[in-house]
Amino acid sequence: MITGLGTKNFKSWRKSETMKLAPLTGFFGANNSGKTSLLQILLLLKQTAEHPPPTNRSEPLFYGDDSSLVKLGDFESVIHRHNTTFTLSISVSLQLSPQIKLKGRLTDSVDFSASIANHNRTVQLDTLSYMFGDDKCGIAWTPQGYKDIASNRSRSPHRCYGTVNVLSGQDSLALLHKAFERQFARIHHLGPYRIPPQHTYEWGGDYPENVGQHGEHTIRILLSGRIELRSIEQEILKRLQELKLIHSYNIRSISKQGGIYEILVTQYDGGTTVPLTDVGFGVSQVLPVLTACYSTPEGSTLILEQPEAHLHPQVQSELADVLIDVVKNRGIQIILESHSEHLLLRLMRRIAEYGIRDEGISADQTAFYFCEINDGNSKAEQLKVDEYGNISNWPKDFFGDEMGDLAAKTRAEMQRRKANKK
């Protein structure tokens, strides 16, 4: 699990204190306030860990290509205000699973940090370090090359998080290098733009690892689950019914040779069965969200961007209960970016109900942030939530100025009534 995140000079984030990430973490705020950039840091580290550097050079980060989770360009593109004299710093706190043995003792918590800078038109790693307890290991650039910060021996960096050469069989940095890759391999991501419903879907018997960034593998996940005898369709149908979106659905083959499927949906008991393309758009948009929630392996981190997109306000509220269920009963860490006040208010209610209702969740299992931008710099303020679900530092106009609109409407009504009497 990822328990902390910090950055300096990443895109709109001039400086960010380390933010606590809980089993259920939410980022809220206006458009272009920096919410997505925070998620991009984690996705950038994930794809960096999954793409080895070119053999002829060591690039600290893999900024992505057309098939990547994020395509960020280059160092100049991600550095704050494109000022390449700045140093990019990223820090992440990790709860390791499984534990690893470092300096003769088991360790399950570690803090990683790295700094990257542009030196004479060459972008390179300046430092990388891991803190575990009172111990520290890592490497740093010196005029004589990269040196181990503990032994002063020469080391060669592997991306921004590890080294190529191992000092011994119990080399702490080498063990943490592998642990870092394991942890980031457990991150899964569903973006805000899910593919629209299709008339037909193809499946060749493969087993996708996740629903895909746009939910493009959702139906293949459901079909592969049938063969693996670990079908999650009943759970997803139950949730769709609880959300009052449909009564039932069926995925069926429409070709003699197999491989081509269609989805038929019944919206209410006794209703007509129709293709998925003929029902409300929200059904096709929430289906990847539900599938990701119940197919992602336990112990993973699931990043959801705008899971409430295209859903009715009441459904947005009910979706919060699904997220709580996944966190509590499947051991999935959820990090979400949302614009939904209905989803947040339901979460606040469930915190208040912790201990008296099964749907409740404790305040310390959550962390919520309000993001805003001032003078081109993003800032994230953690919402102070007490054990009864109260927010003591509710930002002004958090979800717009509802009372301001009502007051303006009343004034306009009075003016029109006065004018009509003339």
> What confidence tens digit (pLDDT) does each residue in 81-128 have?
999 999 999 999 999 999 999 988 999 999 999 999 999 889 999 999
> What confidence tens digit (pLDDT) does each residue in 323-339 have?
999 999 999 999 999 99
> What confidence tens digit (pLDDT) does each residue in 193-203 have?
999 999 999 99
Crossing angle between the packed helical segments 313-330 and 281-295, to the nearest 10 degrees: 10
Residue range(s) occupied by CATH 3.40.50 in the chain = 1-186+297-393
User: 29: closest CA among 311, 405, 397?
Assistant: 397
User: 189: closest CA among 217, 152, 162?
Assistant: 217
CB 310 within 8 A of CB 341: no
> What confidence tens digit (pLDDT) does each residue in 132-183 have?
999 999 999 999 999 999 899 999 999 999 999 888 777 999 999 999 999 9
pLDDT at 395: 82
User: Judging by beta carbons within 10 Å of its beta carbon (0-12, 13-18, 19+), is residue 336 exposed, middle or buried?
Assistant: buried
pLDDT at 301: 98
DSSP structure class, residue 193: -
Class of 1-186+297-393 in CATH: alpha beta
**Sequence letter at residue 57:** R
> What confidence tens digit (pLDDT) does each residue in 259-278 have?
999 999 999 998 999 999 99
Confidence of residue 31 (pLDDT cuts 50, 70, 90): confident
Could you tell me which residue, 315 or 230, shows the higher pLDDT?
315
What three-state secondary structure class fits 354? strand
- Give the C-alpha separation, 308 to 311, whole Å: 6
pLDDT at 273: 93
**Sequence letter at residue 54:** P
pLDDT at 406: 61
pLDDT at 232: 87
> What confidence tens digit (pLDDT) does each residue in 358-414 have?
999 999 999 999 999 888 899 999 999 999 999 988 887 777 666 566 667 667 777
The sign of the dihedral angle between the CA atoms of 219, 342, 304, 4 is: negative
User: Looking at residues 16-36, what average pLDDT do you find?
Assistant: 91
Please tell me the pTM assigned to this model: 0.92
pLDDT at 228: 62
Average pLDDT across the chain, whole number: 91
The percentage of the chain sitting over the pLDDT mark of 90, rounded to a whole number, equals: 76
